[in-house]
A and B are shown apart, each in its own frame.
Chain A
């Protein structure tokens, strides 16, 4: 078959009944791309000799190197059977689990799928996954059992054994389909049950439980694969042969005179040929006879392999060839590798492309036969029912089913992914032969330029010697050699321009037309996934079209289509228009579509259901450019990558990290390669992302590390510890035994007493959840402070009230009496999960809840430096003493706050000796004056403060100056230090971020899943079996710090049978104390003096400290004696 012309394909595109959109699905390495090669070769695009070796559709370099497909790519093929021409839009998909998102994008665009199963390996995890995916998208699968040659060559099975083996594989595949069917029926039943229960809740008691589960009622016979149904092909794509039962039935009915219908039914199954009676009988197995399939089909193939490959018997080969009526080129038959001869024979005898494509044309539906159920499923987003959609939308369903290519039909296109191509690959930029005129033009241009140059050189040479003049004259006589370089120059100029264009990546939308005809430059609506047709129809006037610029509807944009392309594997052919039912590429949509979208001319069109991805992105890495100055390039590249990959996610974290989230390690590698070579074009490095921690305190533990009651024996140790710690603190700090820390500022004018108390867990959670609310409150309070009022709507007020009530209910007991009312501030950043409580006697400040109070009581005012205390608290909560990470769930209570203000009139005489710095300055004229002023201000403020003027306070705030800097600053520092010491006086703990991890696994790998989880400090919460399947769902929690490489490890250990999903859930206290050393006798006994066992919390803490360059209490060398001995003079 020759190369199919573009015109023919365009003609075929208009006949939807003869179009087959299909994709090839299978487990990795089961031969998808090889089969695709064979099919491509049948159209003469590649040589049939290279089929299977070239992997034509693997166009990326890394795909060729690694030998796995990484993206789905489409090609349009032409095939004719039974006098009908068919257009086959074939999509090859990757089999590796990391790229299952690409499979989803391929499956969505197709009506049918070829599922390939390796004859040796049988059903593999990805086979199950793709069958499930095909099932979920309601597309019809056909089966190809590939690599049958391996049964002969590698396993050395006899034809009889091979038959039973093939039967087993078929059973496995059907079992998977069966379980999918059962689970669907059970689901439907459960839905129905719940509906019934809702409808009639009264007669529950009399309901008789129906155990039949409805399985019997639903018919599932047409779902299964069976050779006699014609939906199974046996093949060996590498050797280029494949057959279905039909072919043999047809062949033998002529030879043996048995009707082909009978043969069809009996060729596969427990039948045998009774040679004497010339009859086909049932029960081959029980009678020990060869089944018909073995006798008529497999034996022939086996003998062919035997003759050609194993025995290399020339004569026999000749005989077989003549009996098959096959002629082989002399070159092939002389080839030293018997495989070449084999494939030459087989590809003529039983060409795989013919078998597969015939099956495809006969068994898979055309776009016209799309199931109504599937249309409804596509059009209903989420849980909405089809009947709930607006009427106009429901009408669209008809357009779908008709798949009409009239100009009147509404255009509906679904874009399943965007892929990037070099501008070189675009047909516009392709090199083509120059036309006559262009050549003439170029010649003219070159001539002109040459003339100019000549003129210039003559002008320059004119004052020079006459000799050179003569030379230039001779030069002009021979324009030839001069023109050529000129021409070359022009060419390089052009090339430069092309190079610039090449730098830009072009995105092409991988799409399918479901209805109508798309044209180049057509105006359409682009509908985002959240678009609601009901809303859109309401807002847009009746009968409006895309020509009007009405883009006010949310999630809807209006744009015109760029060029349309026919996807031909690596190449693209430009098209003018594409009718319904075809797969196509659309250019120039990168500004409108991110990853996938629905395009329509009718606003009534609903967005299609989002693609369901089997794997969610879970492998996180932080990405950085090698050279920091290339940051903008990286960001641009990551944006492009995000658009080009359906499954990759990129985000910038608060810490400034650029994080890339991918589906697996192989996927990650591809994304990094893409970034390096295509999108960012810079050197990048990927590393483990930074893992956040929180610091907190807990109540003193009651038992020690060996679960012994902490009795008297420890007290000795505790006292010793306290004594030690006491010496660690600087002189200005005192810590009493209850954890109250008293600290004096550097200029000894203020003393602060702070105590740290752990908050109950519920309170911490409540504060975390309501941070937005707290922020609003804080805004209100700030504006109140300035005497302005901020309006807060009723709803927010109510939720604030609710928050307060809840806090009160959680914080009960003597310790917390009226604590909620005395909350001073939240931190860090004024809305975090830590609290500062005002436990001062005689200081009533306006509470944080003042937005709830109708009237402000006059007695409550802010004391001076209120702000400094709050700032100090904020700073302390922002970075804790353990490893400078934020605090969480800590309550600081301020219990003492004394200030010796120097400028009180009664103490005026004592001021100067107290503060020598001030004394010095007052010698200066100007300063003396100001200090006088300040003194006045100070006294004023003292009298003013009780009456509530904040002006006085402010003035004072900024007016204090001494040798330690502004007093407000000192107070901030003092408060911060006091909080830190108070924190350290309590038992400190680290909090780790936790993922909830949902793992789907089959029963046989459960043990390994548990192994991986426990190795990574994970904890299993629950495990249950999914109804109707044999898949277990395990819920576990796992520290984020341990999650790097988790997905990869679990996949490796379970051979891909378990797939985890990680979602951040909460913060959890790590129970071990990072500063723990054995103190009690039992602990000494158990752990020894040094406690060499690993302390998880200490490990995390030191990791963070080391990363931040903080001091880590570690010895440079562990054992002094075990250092390398160096000679003195060396």
Chain B
């Protein structure tokens, strides 16, 4: 090992190192920055645009190249390109700032889109636009968590947005038909779960059309199924109760 003096020290710049442990040895490859994620998602198809060199290292920063016998022992092949591809696909890497930023941005938009799809303005029964939701999310300083699913986070965002603006989940319109016997009893149980009862018809059997919060659907479904022993029926009339068509303001 030579002495590290400014003249003989070679610094690696713009190198993203992908590491993988296999067969008890650690292997590394040298890649370009911001390219590995594109390769994994399939957007980048040219391997030469990803790899700085197709040699496999033990340690990239020290420039130690992996031995052939180690490689063949670990990967069962001596084809370096093939090994590089394996490491690229499965190895671990430090995600670069740009990659992380685009990923978070994309998730942020995705969350906003989900929220906009699921929610309405309770006053007008009309959805909000995605850009408005995005701005509202920025206003409440929502930070995206990369390891949680966007759907989960969207539900969280809806809860938080309710405090600052007029927003609610679009209601589901349901119809259930309950046999007369259980009707009365069940109605009391269902009452707290329903938002709006649009129509109620009680002869022979109880027929109700009502709006519910989509979050309660499972609960209602379960309740009706268990309590009526399969005699009551539940039908989803519309998944989202929103105003349709354009409206002229006058």
Contacts and interface: CB of A to CB of B under 8 A. Distances in A.
A1127 B13 CA distance: 6
B73 to A, nearest CB: 29
A382 interface: no
A629 B166 contact: yes
B43 A642 contact: no
A576 B111 CA distance: 61
B233 A1107 contact: no
B245 A654 contact: yes
Interface string B91-125: 00000001100100011111111001000110110
Interface stretch (B31-39, B62-70, B75-83, B189-197): B31-39
B185 interface: no
Given A1111-B41, A1113-B42, A1120-B32, A958 B233 contact: yes
Contacts of B249: 635, 638-639, 642, 650-652
Contacts of B131: 624, 687
A590 to B, nearest CB: 12
Interface stretch (B20-28, B208-216, B224-232): B224-232
Contact of B11 (A654, A957, A958, A1128): A1128
Contacts of B33: 1117, 1120, 1123
A650 B248 CA distance: 6
B35 A1107 contact: no
B250 A639 contact: yes
Contacts of B43: 1113-1115
Interface in A954-1003: 954-955, 957-959, 966
Contact of A1113 (B41, B132, B133, B247): B41
B230 A934 contact: yes
A626 interface: yes
A127 B134 CA distance: 47
A690 interface: yes
B34 A653 contact: no
Nearest to A1119: B49
B86 interface: no
Interface in A1072-1130: 1106-1111, 1113-1117, 1119-1121, 1123, 1125-1128
B146 interface: no
B22 to A, nearest CB: 24
A857 interface: no
Contacts of B221: 958, 966
A711 interface: no
Contacts of B50: 1120
A320 interface: no
B126 interface: yes
Given A628-B139, A652-B247, A937-B230, A622 B129 contact: yes
A690 B136 CA distance: 18
Contacts of A653: 246
Given A628-B139, A638-B249, A1117 B98 contact: yes
Contacts of B203: none
B149 interface: no
B106 A1111 contact: yes
A247 interface: no
A937 to B, nearest CB: 6
A436 interface: no
Contacts of A629: 164-166
A997 B121 CA distance: 35
A594 B14 CA distance: 65
A655 B243 CA distance: 10
A957 B234 CA distance: 9
A953 B32 CA distance: 60
A864 interface: no
A1109 B129 contact: no
A1123 B34 contact: yes
B128 interface: yes
Given A651-B249, A937-B230, A955-B230, A1116 B165 contact: no
A957 B231 CA distance: 11
B248 A649 contact: yes
Contacts of A622: 129
Contacts of B247: 651-652
Contact of A1127 (B11, B109, B121): B11
A656 interface: yes
Nearest to A635: B249
A468 interface: no
Contacts of B126: 652, 654, 656
B158 to A, nearest CB: 13
B184 interface: no
A1117 B129 contact: no
A670 to B, nearest CB: 18
B183 interface: no
> Which among A626, A652, A1125, A1126 has the highest number of chain B CB atoms within 10 Å?
A652
Given A930-B226, A1110-B110, A954 B233 contact: yes
Nearest to A957: B233
A1109 B131 CA distance: 11
A631 interface: yes
A1108 B150 CA distance: 13
A651 B248 contact: yes
Interface in A150-190: none
B204 interface: no
B244 interface: yes
A362 interface: no
B109 A1107 contact: yes
Given A930-B226, A1123-B33, A655 B129 contact: yes
Contacts of B161: 628
A448 interface: no
A1117 B128 contact: no
A1113 B246 CA distance: 33
A933 B230 contact: yes
B198 interface: no
Contacts of B243: 654
B159 to A, nearest CB: 15
Contacts of B245: 654
Interface in B6-24: 11-14
A627 interface: yes
A452 interface: no
Contacts of B98: 1116-1117
B135 A626 contact: yes
Contact of A955 (B44, B139, B231): B231
Nearest to B99: A1116
A657 interface: yes
A958 B176 CA distance: 12
B250 A1108 contact: no
Contacts of A635: 124, 249
B225 A624 contact: no
B34 A1116 contact: yes
Nearest to B121: A631
B130 interface: yes
A635 B34 CA distance: 45
A930 B135 contact: no
A632 interface: yes
B113 A1109 contact: yes
Given A624-B129, A1109-B113, A959 B34 contact: no
B62 to A, nearest CB: 14
Contacts of A1115: 35, 38, 43-44
Contacts of A594: 250
A647 to B, nearest CB: 14
Contact of B14 (A638, A690, A1125): A1125
A481 B236 CA distance: 76
Given A1113-B41, A1128-B12, A628 B246 contact: no
12 contacts: A624-B131, A624-B132, A638-B249, A867-B235, A954-B233, A1109-B111, A1120-B35, A1121-B32, A1123-B33, A1123-B34, A1125-B13, A1127-B13
**The 6 A-B residue pairs with the shortest CB-CB distance in the complex, in nearest-first order:** A1109-B109, A1109-B110, A1120-B32, A656-B127, A628-B136, A954-B233
Given A690-B129, A1123-B32, 5 more contacts: A655-B129, A955-B233, A958-B233, A1109-B106, A1120-B49
